[in-house]
Structure 1
């Protein structure tokens, strides 16, 4: 009997040792989950990331902590995320610039958007707005084009820089109209808006979410939106597609994980995000924040979406003749 007990105990030992790891896998997450963000606190992406994090955390019994690492045209935050442990507790809440356009506007990046990350899920798409401040002498985008044509390079527009998402939008639109804007680059949307409100810059091009409060307060006037149709929250503002047929230029926000993150965690986060985004109140809130939620997208579908985005933006960069620096 004693020998049989010893044999049985020896046979069960590996299973006993494996139980803690199995329990740990099944109980993810066991501690707070971090979203790294390349934009500063109070920016449009920051507001979205915090709200999305709050919603998805409800099913995790663990909080989502947003860590802001702005600067370097998203490079600082993206690099920090890429170098984070691939343990399922750190994710990169990214925008189009960090994961697509930077690859075409930088000669060298300290991170690889393709190799250093695995796609988790698209959260939503966001329209950009071209708006006017008190210094702008006109009432429409047509007026802006007329002024920019009459005096090339004089009409100023605040953006995140000519090689950023908002800057490329401004240049793409001006180019199609045969005009030229004078870019005044900013690293923070609030700084750009302060100069626009103070009359030091005439126009501004930023995500709708970043401009929302200023548009509602009448401090800036929207001239056009970059979505293919007018936005429900700005029904009187024309879409750029009304001037340039077929034009669509929307950004997006999405979740990525450091390469090597367990596939089961990636799938779990994808499913939990989808469950949150399908909630009517969540969808309405995101839309109010300037992001149209993507209510259905698997990990594989998001991977295919990213490949198509890289191709699309590569073509646009060539069209605008933007040289990597």
Structure 2
């Protein structure tokens, strides 16, 4: 019996190297899982569920979204990193999870660069600096002038000095040569209500979080963090118009555990690109406050990630942010 088993194993040996490719031919043969490290109902979660549903319609299997919130994305990222690299688990990630956590945590239980294989960038999320509709601030120049006249007295609502919106506020203040007073909020609606009520003069938040207040006319945008003005807000200056070359956007992207077969990664990249390029999908992504990335191959996403880590390393150093 042992001899027959040995002969059988030997006969199969030449095919072993081709198992990943063979598996890919019938992939997916069971439901695919996307881990999201944000709570259900959050911006990333809504976007992930929409795209997962679109992909599930293309594949013979559904894409199931699993929320693993908490720990500033650490819980979800760690769960995804430790998943089997078999092509059935992915991480729908934010910039914080894959880039800035490296600079704000002294130790992470996962390595964004080594534990994941980039699959595809989905969209970029601009940030907006805004004020109440009736505010005396009519431009970013007005804010800078007031901050220079009253150092440290002009308050701005952010998610905290080491969160994305807080780092943007500090970056703008640093370039303008002023100091702003952070008022940290854990929930965007609370920050916006205080701005609308006149308790805090300024707010800095992702476009997705502030979009409804802009559309209702309760707040007025002073600047957007993209390199160029947004088509939907042509009258709102880009920060690069005041600070040449400046760009500050978050993003959402899909990653696989390191070691996932390259042919499956390439397949997911192509299928996700086909989904994002559909006009109705692109419009839906925009409505959620993100700018869809209609073309990006795996190699391009890998290069993008390398450039992002280098760019953020420089920004964190400039702001003097230390890991905790």
| Alpha carbons 2:133, 2:217 under 8 Å: kept | no
Counterpart CA distance in 1 for 2:106 and 2:272 is 34
Query: Does the 8 Å contact 1:136/1:203 carry over to 2?
Result: no
Task: Report whether the alignment pairs 1:291 with 2:254.
Answer: no
Deviation per residue, 1:191-213 (Å, 9 max, x gap)? 43344344443322121122111
The equivalent of 1:260 in structure 2 is 259
The aligned residue for residue 4 of structure 1 is none
Q: 1:21: Cα distance to partner?
A: 9.3
| CA shift for structure 1 position 25 | 4.0
CA 91–192 in structure 1, closer or farther in 2 if over 3 Å, else same: farther
Q: Specify the alignment match of 2:129 in structure 1.
A: 130
Q: Give, in angstroms, the shift of residue 171 of structure 1.
A: 0.7
Residues 20 and 261, structure 2, Cα contact 8 Å, conserved in 1: no
Give the conservation status (yes or no) of the 8 Å contact 1:88–1:265: yes
Conserved? CA contact 1:126–1:250, under 8 Å: yes
Q: Specify the alignment match of 1:206 in structure 2.
A: 205
Q: Contact between 2:37 and 2:69, CA under 8 Å: does it hold in 1?
A: yes
Partner of 2:4: none
Q: Secondary structure at the match of 1:261?
A: coil
**Residue 58 of structure 1 aligns to a residue in which SS?**
helix
| Distance (whole Å) between structure 1 residues aligned to residue 223 and residue 111 of structure 2 | 34
Q: Secondary structure at the match of 2:58?
A: coil
Offset at 1:164? 2.1
Contact 2:21–2:263 (Cα < 8 Å) also in 1: no
Q: Could you tell me whether the CA contact under 8 Å between 1:134 and 1:202 is conserved in 2? A: no
Are 2:156 and 2:202, in contact at CA under 8 Å, matched by a contact in 1?
Answer: yes
Structure 1 CA distance for aligned equivalents of residues 40 and 196 of structure 2: 20
For residues 172-206 of structure 1, the C-alpha deviation after alignment (integer angstroms, 9 at most, x for no partner) is 11111111122223344334334434444332212
May I ask how many residue pairs the two structures share in their alignment?
317
Alpha-carbon distance in 2 for matches of 1:30, 1:37: 22
| Partner SS, residue 139 of structure 1 | coil
SS at match of 1:171: helix
Aligned CA distance change for structure 1 residues 22 and 170 (closer, same or farther; 3 Å): closer
Contact 1:135 1:202 survives alignment (8 Å): no
1:137 and 1:75, CA in 2 relative to 1: closer, same or farther beyond 3 A? Answer: farther
Deviates more, 1:253-262 or 1:39-48: 39-48
Measured against aligned partners, the alpha-carbon deviations of 1:265-295 in whole angstroms (never above 9, x if no partner) come to 2111111111112222222332333322222
Maintained 8 Å contact 2:86/2:260:
yes
Change (3 A) 1:162 1:231: same
2:245 aligned with 1:246: yes
Distance 1:164 1:11, change over 3 A: closer
- What is the deviation of 1:157? 1.9
Deviations 1:12-70 (A, max 9, x none): 9999xxxx998764332233322222223333322322222222222113332323333
Distance 2:204 2:82 in 1: 32
Partner residue, 1:104: 103
Query: Which position in structure 2 is the counterpart of 1:5?
Result: none
Q: 1:180 corresponds to which residue?
A: 179
1:129–1:222 Cα contact (<8 Å) kept: yes
Matched, 1:235 2:234: yes
Mapped partners of 1:129, 1:230: distance in 2: 11
d(CA) in 2 for partners of 1:185, 1:125: 23
Give unmatched runs, 5+ long, in structure 2. 1-7
Q: Is the 8 A contact 2:80 2:89 kept in 1?
A: yes
Question: Aligned-pair distance for 1:146?
Answer: 2.3
Q: Which residue of 2 aligns with 1:114?
A: 113
